[in-house]
């Protein structure tokens, strides 16, 4: 089996390490998470799958909300 090296942000690495099961390789952890998320078809299934993912930090939450606010556009729906 061939291998590839990838670069991930240190926060992503920490999150992956936190959800990796004891004795599980990072490759197997990624494969397990991808399978779980690819099978999620309903909102409930997606939320259950996200339970294994750490919450955003305060800093990341603020950045996320700032981006959402910047991209939220109030459209004028003048249909006349």
The CA-atom distances, in angstroms, between 76 and each of 34, 45, 67 are: 40, 35, 21
Burial of 19 (0-12, 13-18, 19+ CB in 10 A): middle
pLDDT band of 69, cuts 50, 70, 90 = confident
Per-residue pLDDT, 35: 86
What is the token pair recorded at 1? Answer: 């089996």
- pTM for this model (two decimals): 0.49
* pLDDT confidence of residue 77: 60
Encode pLDDT of 19-57 as tens digits: 999 999 999 999 998 888 777 678 787 777 778 777 888
């Amino acid at each position: 089996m061939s291998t590839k090296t990838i670069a991930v942000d240190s926060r992503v690495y920490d999150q992956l390490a936190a959800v990796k099961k004891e004795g599980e390789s990072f490759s197997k952890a990624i494969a397990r998470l991808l399978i779980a998320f690819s099978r999620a078809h309903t909102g409930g299934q997606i939320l259950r799958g996200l339970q294994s993912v750490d919450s955003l930090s305060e800093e990341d939450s603020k950045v996320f909300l700032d981006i959402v606010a910047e991209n939220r556009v109030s459209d004028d729906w003048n249909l006349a």
